[in-house]
Structure 1
Amino acid sequence: MHFGSNQSDEVSRGSCGNDSFPGLDSVDEKAMKMNAFKRWRTGSAVLGLFSLLLLVCGCSKSPAELQKKYMSLGEHYLAEGKLNEAVIEFQNLLKVNPKSAQGHYELGKAYQRKGWLIESVIQYREAVKLAPLMLDAHLSLAQYAINSGQWNPAKSEISAILKIDPSNARGWTYAGQRMSATGREAEAQKDLEHALSLKPGYPRALVAMGDLKRKQNHLKQAKDYYDKALSSAPSNSRAWAGLGLILQAKGKNDEALADFKKALAVDPDNLRSHIILANFMASQGHLHKAV
């Protein structure tokens, strides 16, 4: 009875165990290992992703840091004359902060040096819209208005400059240039003298005074002003062009041509110098060289 019971128990274990489903224990073990591997792999992937996110977050910069980075790079490239690279960096800065007045101003400077005058003016205007007291942007806009003969915009910018800084010699120089161009020569003289009293020996004001004296046909005085400007600023293209115009007025065309070429040599991108040289060549009958 005891034996039979043992036999029955043995059969029962066999029929319910390995005989009917051979290898069941090994299948369960493999399944468990596979599930464990899957869990490990999933966990590792999540951990890896989390680590990557931590790394990215740790290396990312704040908007302020990015602006500082792009500004620094842009200024570096601008100083080295790498204008395209400078433009890209200032544009990157403005993508981070479209309301950066300084960013618009620096981009305007880069455009101006590339000769993209309209684009530069757009950026300068955006700068003063965002920062109405940005003196440098107003000065750049005044310079553009003076050079392009836009006397009403020039007046507005000069007023803004002198409201911000009543002792700004450059602003008073622009005021004198505008007065001279609009036929108010006595007021021009007064404004330019005031500029020189604020900043003695200021080349920009000296050249403007030379232009005024040349316009009044006081050629010796004009030459003295140009020479004085060049003594401290030998790369002043406007002074060289002024000397050339004096020589042309005296009929000394070969010497005049040399000074016109000197004006371009010191500042090859100066549009005014190109125009003066072209007009001179045309006046000499060299139309093919004037174009």
Structure 2
Amino acid sequence: MKSRGDAEAWYNKGYALFERGEISEAIKALNVALGINPGDTKSWILVGNASMEMEDYETALKAYDEVLKKVQTDADIWVSKGNALFNLGRTEEALSAFQHALNIEPDHYYAEYCMNIAHELVTSPSP
């Protein structure tokens, strides 16, 4: 049986690969880490971020939802979820996620910025 230390080593490998731009390899390493420790929020966050880089918004959304099962008060995760939803064309849900982030952290400038862009898209007439 693999230990939590093994999960940490796989996370570290995934992080290093992500930083080097080897996104698909990073995701593979992170999936090994999550196979050992499925509740590791930092691995889920990095899977979400890496998936966003690869424009795999469904996987990113699933990853951020895994984090939010454990930590619902992290405004940054709500913004990340909102961005995944926005990129999936689910603008109303994205607005809700951005609002949730702002409820947690009212001065979160990026949440406000994303909210304004999404809101503008919803309220602007289509050409």
One fold, TM greater than 0.5? yes
Output the TM-score relative to the length of structure 1.
Answer: 0.39
1:146 aligns with 2:80: no
Q: 1:164 to 1:89 in 2, by over 3 A?
A: same
- Report if aligned partners of 1:146, 1:177 keep a CA contact under 8 Å in 2: no
Unpaired runs of at least 5, structure 2: none
Q: CA RMSD in A?
A: 2.1
Residue of structure 1 equivalent to 2:26 = 86
Q: How does 1:275-286 map to 2 (within 5 A)?
A: none
- After TM superposition, list the pairs within 5 Å mapping 1:122-201 onto structure 2: 122-183=62-123
Correspondent of 1:110 among 50, 69, 83? 50
Distance 1:171 1:119 in 2: 21
Count of matched residue pairs: 124
1:129–1:66 Cα change, 3 Å: same
Structure 1 stretches of 4+ with a deviation exceeding 4 A read none
Report the equivalent of 1:34.
none
Counterpart pick for 2:36 among 82, 90, 96: 96
Alpha-carbon distance in 1 for matches of 2:81, 2:48: 10
Shift, 1:130, TM fit: 2.2
Consecutive unaligned residues in structure 1, runs of 5 or more: 1-59, 185-291
Amino acid at match of 2:110: R
Q: CA deviation at 1:61?
A: 7.5
Quick one: distance in 2 between partners of 1:61 and 1:96?
6
Q: Which residue of 1 aligns with 2:11?
A: 71
TM-score (norm 2): 0.83
CA offset digits 1:241-291 (Å, max 9, x no partner): xxxxxxxxxxxxxxxxxxxxxxxxxxxxxxxxxxxxxxxxxxxxxxxxxxx
Structure whose CA Rg is larger: 1
- Aligned residues: percent identity? 19
